[in-house]
Chains A and B, each alone.
Chain A
Amino acid sequence: MGKLYKFLKYFFITFWAVFVVAPFLWALTTSFKDFNSVNGGATYIPWVDFEPKLEGWRVLIKSPANGGVDIIEPYFNSLFVTCTASLISIVLGTLSAYALSRFTFKAGFVKNNDITFFFISQRIMPPIVLSIPFFLFLGAINLLDSLIGLIVVYIVLLMPIAVWIMVDFFNKVPREIDETALIDGCNPYQAFFKVVLPNSIPGLIVAGMFCIIFGWIDFFFAFILTFTEVQLLPVKIVALNSSITPWWSLSASALVSVAPLIIVAFIVERYLSKGNLSGAIK
């Protein structure tokens, strides 16, 4: 029984690991191939199966004049937009979530839960519904095809996620913590910043992670709201495609674009394994 269990356990772990890592290996090897190696059947081992070439990677940094696509600027655009929008969303979202969790709001029939739902409802709508209003709105304030415009739109998209996660999180933090802080002599702001917020770091990390992921992978709005001045990474990668699919440079750009998320995952994972996230709330 014990042996069988152990065997099955390792079998599934191995299976899962292969399942997850295989596409990365495929992309990694493909990114070092040229046209002939890609079309020459399934080959995996460099120098044995095929001759590795750096062309796939070079295309990414070469300027279009030299036949490249230059994803460096879009890459940093994407980083800037995602990080700024996530940061603002987390700050605003956390503050509103705390208010929604701790204070009672009432405007006619609208109460706390309705406000929370209003935030979430922004994500229930299909994005296509939002695209035209966003387009007209950004056009009206002259922010089409600009980083600021994209940040504004992304805040609208990311803040609901932050509010949603943080309301739930704050609801689980016992009110007595705030009350104790007041009794110990904090004013309500100090109680929030000195006591409640440090206790909520796990929630902030989760919310931050979601914001970064959803911001980073968005293609739709980046595609609709920008033209020539500003381009984000997902749009640029799609633009790589041509009549002859450049598998090598597509693979290279896929690896490059997924790298920040992997780095974030590693950081959070290390933090998780230190036990800092567990047991923060009773």
Chain B
Amino acid sequence: MHLMKMEFYPLLLLEVLMSKIDLNNISHTYNPNDPEPTYALNPFSMTWKNGKRYAILGPSGCGKTTMLNIVSGLVRPSAGSILFDDKDVTDLKTEDRNIAQVFQFPVIYNTMTVFENLAFPLLCRDFEKEKINERVNSVAETLNLQSFLKSPARKLTADQKQLISLGRGLVREDVAAVLMDEPLTVIDPDLKFRLRRKLKEINEEFKTTLVYVTHDQNEAMTFADNIIVMSDGEVVQAGTPKELFERPNTTFVGYFIGSPAMNLFETEASSNDCVKINGTLIKTNTNLSKLKNKKIKLGIRSEFINLAEDQKDNLLSVEVDKVEDLGNYKLLTAKMGELTIKSKITRETEVPSSDVKLHIPADKCCVYENEILI
């Protein structure tokens, strides 16, 4: 039905597919009857816009899967509400929400063929036979599964099975979002790369909202428009990869995102905008007037630290510890007293073997008090 419309009224179709997901003050605990319940997910609010790619990034056990299960309805949140297109679906059952979810390990229906597996979500929703054939064939083509359509699903390899799981998620055109819980864990690296690109293409072509849970920051950075970083049941920061990279909200994000992790120095504010690192004044763009004599941390990405050329200010005199050639860049590890500073420099840069001066750009400095960005 939707496809017929698409031929004549492409814009109308987009409107039909539009689906915005709002999470309002959602929180969840698995032991609600305890006098002091422990929260798997602390209260947070968020809006997922239609057609975007989101990545939920965080270490194992930080509440990522709980968040997905709340959206798909497998878990009812202890508090808060979920809205699909401003319609409250908090109490709507999973089968009545229009959500697709792909789990970490392939889940296939062993007793069915690949075709039947892919057709199952449409069959459950009483689609017409022709429509089912058309959709299944189109998805099978996208995922290179055409030649297997008639074989029993259980005979396939692990990564082909995961493709089927993905395919079942993509076979419905009208899903509000496809939720993926580390879906590429079982897939080998080369195919992983191609599949991620494929998912991006699918998102761009069909404007399906994709939510991708991962603990791999590279995966998140390359895949998503928006990344939601979680730690210990808390949404620490949500933003574009660029925002997360340049202005991490907390030291955790700075540490978790980027390779190597952000350089962090414990220090004190010595004037309105300067901090002192091992006796050297470093100017920042942050107003530090209220933080005099308080313990703070200065964070800066190794990508932004360079060997000083003609700069006069914000220079640190350091001792070169080692230089590693990592193929597309060099990683310089330097010592300044007890501090270790890492800097990514181009391969062409010649590094003197002894003392060098490093330039710290003021606009790239992030200042943290109690691990939170000021």
Q: 0/1 per residue, B104-139, Cβ < 8 Å to A? A: 011101110000000011001100000000000000
Apart from A182-B95, A183-B100, what 13 extra A-B contacts exist at CB < 8 Å? Answer: A176-B107, A177-B107, A179-B74, A179-B101, A180-B101, A182-B93, A184-B121, A185-B125, A186-B124, A187-B93, A190-B124, A280-B110, A281-B110
Residues of A within 8 A of B (CB): 174, 176-177, 179-180, 182-187, 190, 195, 198-199, 201, 279-282
A186 and B95 contacting across the interface, CB-CB below 8 Å: yes
**Distance, CA A281 to CA B120, complexed state (A):** 19
| B106 cross-chain contacts in A, Cβ below 8 A | 282
User: When A185-B121, A190-B124, A195-B109 are in contact, do A180 and B95 touch as well, CB less than 8 Å?
Assistant: no
Chain B count of residues within 8 A CB distance of the other chain: 23
A176 and B110 contacting across the interface, CB-CB below 8 Å: no
| B69: min CB distance to chain A, Å | 8
A174 partner, pick from B72, B100, B107, B124, beta carbons under 8 A:
B107
**Distance, CA A216 to CA B275, complexed state (A):** 87
Does B359 sit at the interface, judged by CB under 8 A?
A: no
Does B28 sit at the interface, judged by CB under 8 A?
A: no
Does B283 sit at the interface, judged by CB under 8 A?
A: no
In the complex, which residue of chain A has the Cβ closest to the Cβ of B94? A182
Q: 0/1 per residue, B80-108, Cβ < 8 Å to A? A: 00000000000001110001110101110
B124 partner, pick from A184, A281, A282, beta carbons under 8 A:
A184
| B100: min CB distance to chain A, Å | 6
**Distance, CA A76 to CA B296, complexed state (A):** 88
Mind listing 29 A-B residue pairs with CB under 8 Å? Answer: A174-B105, A176-B107, A177-B107, A177-B109, A179-B74, A179-B94, A179-B107, A180-B101, A180-B165, A182-B95, A183-B94, A183-B95, A183-B121, A184-B121, A184-B168, A185-B95, A185-B121, A185-B124, A185-B125, A187-B93, A198-B110, A198-B111, A199-B109, A199-B111, A201-B111, A279-B110, A280-B110, A280-B154, A281-B110
**Distance, CA A176 to CA B110, complexed state (A):** 13
In the complex, which residue of chain B has the Cβ closest to the Cβ of A191? B95
A176 and B124 contacting across the interface, CB-CB below 8 Å: no
**Distance, CA A199 to CA B107, complexed state (A):** 12
Q: Which of B203-251 contact A (CB under 8 A)?
A: none
